[in-house]
Homo-oligomer: A and B are copies of this chain.
C-alpha cells in the first residue's frame, strides 16, 4: 500500500462574514492551500476531492461538494461530499487517505466549509441541533450545550473536575488564538472572565462554549509516487483512525468520555506505530471546554480522570510538555462545522512545516488531530509525521 502525504493546507479567516458565500470562503482556503505547497502545484493534477459540510446552512443541501469544487474550476474532478456532523472534514481527509492508498488517485483535495452566522438564533440552533439524536434529544429540546453540560457534570461527579479547570481550557486556547491571525475570537481572556461569564448550560459558561463560525479549510493529500514533485520535506499521514457510536449520548455506557475518540486514537496510533508519548503537539476537538478535557483522556495524553489536573499543570500550554490547540482550538479560532476537521490539519501542517508564525513550536516532528461528530457519534484521528525529522 502506498503511503499518503500532506503537502499543503490552508484556510480562510474564521469569523462572521456576511459578504462572503460558502463558495468564496472555500475558494480562499483552496488558494491558500495551493500557495502552501512548497514546490507549487498545477490544479490540473488534482484527481479527486472530498468536501465536508453539514449543508452550508441549507444553502446547497444536495451536491454541496461539487458546488464548491466547480466554483474553483475543478468541475470534472470526482467530488464526494462527506458528512459526519462536526467531524465532516476530518472524515474528508480520511477519505483522501483511502483514495490515495487505494491507488485510484494520486492528488486529492480534502476540506470543508460552513456558513453559520447569517441566520437567526433559531436557525443556528436548528443547524447545530440536526447533528443531535433526533427523537430523544433534539425534538425534546436538548441543545448541544445541554448534552456537553451533562458530560461535564458527569466528569465533575466521577473525577472531581472543577469549573476552574474547565476555565483553564478557555484561558489557554484564547491565549493561543490571540497569536492566530485567522482566529474568530483572537483575544485573550482571564480565568475570572471564564469563571464569571453567563451560564449557557450549567456548569458551562459562555467561555466554555465555542462560537458559531463561517469558514473553510482544505488540505492536499498525495501518494508516495508523486510526493517528491511537491516538497523536499514530506509530512506523512502515518496513522488514521475512525470510529462511530450511538448518536444519542443517553444510549452510551459513559457520559464522562467519548469511546469513539478512544477507539479512533488507538487505531491511529497502531497504524502509525506510535503512542501519545511520541506526540509533539495535538489539535483536539474542544467544542466545549469539557470536550478538550475528555480528549486528553481519550487520546491518552493523561490517565482517565486526570484531565482536570493535567490542564491545571500547564502541560498543554504552548510552552508545556504537550501543547494542545496551538491554533486556539474551536474555542478561540472558531468552529465552522464542516471545516473544523480540515482546519485542525491546517494547524498540523503549519506547525510541522515551520509556518505557524508567533505560535510556532520548536521543531515539532509528530502531531495529532482529533475531530468529533455530534457528542461522539463519530470520531476521527490522524497522526502526521515530518519524515526527515523522524528519520534522523
Interface residues of A (CB under 8 A from B): 1, 49, 54-55, 58-67, 69-70, 74-85, 91, 94-95, 97-104, 130-134, 240, 242-247, 251, 260, 263-264, 373-374, 377-378, 380
In the complex, are the beta carbons of B103 and A1 less than 8 A apart? yes
Residues of B close to A63: CB separation below 8 A: 83-85, 131, 247, 373-374, 377-378
What is the bound-complex CA distance between A332 and B49, given in angstroms?
33
In the complex, are the beta carbons of B245 and A66 less than 8 A apart? yes
- Distance between A67 CB and nearest chain B CB, rounded to angstroms: 5
What is the bound-complex CA distance between A81 and B374, given in angstroms?
13
In the complex, are the beta carbons of B81 and A83 less than 8 A apart? yes
- Distance between A336 CB and nearest chain B CB, rounded to angstroms: 14
In the complex, are the beta carbons of B70 and A246 less than 8 A apart? yes
Instruction: From the candidates B78, B81, B246, B373, name the one contacting A243 in the complex (CB within 8 A).
Output: B78
Using CB atoms, name the residue of chain B closest to A139.
B59
In the complex, are the beta carbons of A60 and B378 less than 8 A apart? no
Quick one: given A59-B134, A98-B104, A104-B98, are A242 and B66 in contact (CB under 8 Å)?
Answer: no
In the complex, are the beta carbons of B104 and A104 less than 8 A apart? no
Using CB atoms, name the residue of chain B closest to A48.
B242
In the complex, are the beta carbons of B80 and A247 less than 8 A apart? no
What is the bound-complex CA distance between A79 and B97, given in angstroms?
16
Residues of B close to A374: CB separation below 8 A: 62-63
What is the bound-complex CA distance between A341 and B243, given in angstroms?
25
Quick one: given A83-B81, A84-B81, A102-B97, are A131 and B62 in contact (CB under 8 Å)?
Answer: yes
Using CB atoms, name the residue of chain B closest to A70.
B246
Residues of B close to A1: CB separation below 8 A: 102-103
In the complex, are the beta carbons of A67 and B101 less than 8 A apart? no
In the complex, are the beta carbons of A76 and B243 less than 8 A apart? yes
What is the bound-complex CA distance between A373 and B62, given in angstroms?
9
Using CB atoms, name the residue of chain B closest to A378.
B66
Instruction: From the candidates B60, B82, B104, name the one contacting A82 in the complex (CB within 8 A).
Output: B82
Residues of B close to A91: CB separation below 8 A: 80
Using CB atoms, name the residue of chain B closest to A79.
B244
What is the bound-complex CA distance between A60 and B246, given in angstroms?
13
